[in-house]
Structure 1
Amino acid sequence: MSQNKTTKKEKFTIDVLMDENLIPEELEWHSSQGSGQEEKASAALIYLWDAKKNETFSLDLWTKKMSVEEMNKMMFQTIMTLANSYEKATSEDQMANAMRDFAEFFGEKTEILPKSGKFDNNGKG
């Protein structure tokens, strides 16, 4: 814990409802800042940095009802959000733009975005 005095504590809860094979069927979440009602989600990607171990803990959950198309959209949006967060935290705009370029590549290859020609072999679309 930091030595700064804590003035407010927030809580975020995820309930994972699983089938007999421990495959997620439903994800329900709520936040102490939210409406107080449980919300439903099809997937959750949670990453926590452990400074002592110098590594990331990851928890990736998705329900068996989630389609590949939905997963593609989620991954595209997640990569774009990571690029924005990285740029905000580090001011490394070149690296953030490279991440955005990859997100656009991913978006085109998964047909989330229309073809721009930017990633074709000849560069002409």
Structure 2
Amino acid sequence: MEKEIKINVSLDDKNVPEKIIWNADDSNIRDMPVRALLMGLWDHNNKDTLRLDLWTKDMSRDEMKIFFYETLKTMADTLERSIDDERIAGDMRDFCAYFAEKMDIAEKPDS
């Protein structure tokens, strides 16, 4: 079985993303506009991470701060699930709280 995820990026004349649309065939995500994406892919042959970091020109600085904060929190959850190390994931969550404070982002109550 295969699943497909599609990301379409419209660029302006200077190759700056104007619009990002994504679709995932195994969910209800159809032609969903987003303002940013961070994608990391593990190249096991070269033991290196390949990255795709894009954001549209209408992504605000405040939105970017929140996006990074929420991405870091999600990474802590993924780290805990993937290597089963609650301690280091907790340390990462502590950093997320520090990051939110320094970036002047109010943490959500469930944090």
Matched, 1:61 2:54: yes
| Mapped pair 1:72 → 2:65 | yes
Q: Name 2:102's counterpart in structure 1.
A: 109
CA deviation string 1:40-99 (max 9, x = no partner): 000011100011000100000000100010001010000000000000011111111111
Moved beyond 2 Å, runs of 4+: 34-37
Partner of 1:42: 35
- Cα deviation, residue 108, structure 1: 0.9
RMSD over aligned Cα atoms: 1.1
Q: Which runs of 5+ in 1 are unaligned?
A: 1-7, 115-125
Mapped partners of 1:26, 1:94: distance in 2: 39
Percent of paired sites with the same residue: 33
Residue in 1 aligned with 2:74? 81
Higher helix share: 2
How far apart, CA to CA, are the structure 2 residues paired with 1:35 and 1:98? 34
TM-score normalised per structure 1: 0.82
Q: Which structure would you say has the larger RCO, counting Cα contacts within 8 Å and 6 or more residues apart? A: 2
SS of 2:9's equivalent?
A: strand
Q: Which has the larger radius of gyration?
A: 1
